[in-house]
A and B are shown apart, each in its own frame.
Chain A
Amino acid sequence: MSTINIDHVDAGFSDTTQASQQVFRLGLHVFARPGTLVEVPSDAVAPKGIGAAANALLLALLDQDVSLYLAPQRSAAATYYRFHTGCTLASIPSEADFVFVGIEDEMPSVETLKMGTEYAPDESATMVREVSLIEVGVGMTLTGPGIQTETRLMVPELDTAFAQTRSEIASLLPRGVDIFLTCANQLCGLPRSTRIGV
């Protein structure tokens, strides 16, 4: 067992059980209603460069059975999640169960991430993508389960290449990658079943 140097680790949730469950409930909600925006309450002190919503989500979802990929320069954050959740760290995105991508981080291509198998589609990666802005009602159109007709979502970091890749892997359903979009304390879901039109 390797040791963790906690010299620069900040506090997690003050009430781990309650906070984790609240955040988990919000995570369920945004995946059930893709394209809706919720605010995530959190009293955890997030590592530098990680928004409150993304941090709360990672604290709530990670545990010792899963691995997390973070961009190499985020070693302080890696220690933080190792300490608070007991998760392991993946060295490349394609081996991780959870992938966090910050605003300035390089975005790994969605089709290279774990997509599960036909028998176990749950063994796929979940991406938490921090973005600079999430605006509902404008931008790309979203359709699919949980959306009555269609809804619109504008995120500067998600370009047409992203939409293209995502529509290419859409036919693999139930395999795929689920994405949480976060902006500061805001959270929005883009599950694998949601179709993106430009």
Chain B
Amino acid sequence: MYDSAGTDIARREWLGLLAQAPLDMLEAWGKDRQEEYVWLRRPESGLAMVRARIGATGDRFNVGEMTVTRCTLRLANGRHGVAYVQGRSTRHAELAALADALLQEPTIRETLDRQLLQPLRARIAAKRAAIHQDAHLTKVDFFTVSRGDE
């Protein structure tokens, strides 16, 4: 599935999931994998400027810099895997890139989705819900008490 800009929607989703994945989950999935690959770009860490718009409509401003680790690898069958992950964990980037390369293989995508992506979706959704819950506790509704004489 591609959107109007030609982006592979499914791939965009799993790249996002892999970038946010906790390392222990990726490690549990990847530690015994036997695939061989070569590095096109070894994992390297750097800074990326995060920019945003308030309410997604205002002027773009710099939120701040974050550490990002990226890498690119190529499997023996020629498929490429890329990863851009938050933080400085080269192992995280490596496993995410490996998963990206494998997920592009239609024959094993379904299995991988079940083994890796489903638990990731659940974990990330739970984490998000917890943050939402915390934030919700501090929610304040502003209202004005109307005065009777007006």
Residues of chain A whose beta carbon lies under 8 Å from any beta carbon of chain B: 6-7, 9-12, 14-16, 83-84
A-B contact pairs, 21 of them (CB 8 A): A6-B40, A6-B72, A6-B80, A6-B82, A7-B78, A7-B80, A9-B40, A10-B40, A11-B38, A11-B40, A12-B40, A12-B41, A14-B39, A14-B42, A15-B42, A16-B42, A16-B44, A83-B40, A83-B41, A83-B72, A84-B41
The complex places the Cα of A15 from the Cα of B42 at a distance, in Å, of 8
Please indicate the chain A residues that have their CB under 8 angstroms from the CB of B39 in the complex: 11, 14
Please indicate the chain A residues that have their CB under 8 angstroms from the CB of B80 in the complex: 6-7
Residues of chain B whose beta carbon lies under 8 Å from any beta carbon of chain A: 38-42, 44, 72, 78, 80, 82
The complex places the Cα of A27 from the Cα of B78 at a distance, in Å, of 34
- What is the minimal beta-carbon distance from B90 to any residue of chain A, in angstroms? 13
Q: How many residue pairs bridge A and B at CB < 8 Å?
A: 22
The complex places the Cα of A139 from the Cα of B41 at a distance, in Å, of 42
Please indicate the chain B residues that have their CB under 8 angstroms from the CB of A7 in the complex: 78, 80
The complex places the Cα of A113 from the Cα of B68 at a distance, in Å, of 38
- What is the minimal beta-carbon distance from B6 to any residue of chain A, in angstroms? 9
- What is the minimal beta-carbon distance from B125 to any residue of chain A, in angstroms? 29
- What is the minimal beta-carbon distance from A80 to any residue of chain B, in angstroms? 10
With CB as the reference atom, state the residue of chain B lying closest to A7.
Answer: B80
- CB-CB nearest 10 A-B residue pairs: A11-B40, A6-B80, A9-B40, A11-B38, A11-B39, A12-B41, A6-B72, A14-B42, A6-B40, A14-B39
With CB as the reference atom, state the residue of chain A lying closest to B79.
Answer: A7
Please indicate the chain B residues that have their CB under 8 angstroms from the CB of A12 in the complex: 40-41
With CB as the reference atom, state the residue of chain A lying closest to B39.
Answer: A11
Please indicate the chain B residues that have their CB under 8 angstroms from the CB of A6 in the complex: 40, 72, 80, 82
Most A C-beta atoms less than 10 A away, residue of B72, B78, B82: B72
Please indicate the chain A residues that have their CB under 8 angstroms from the CB of B42 in the complex: 14-16
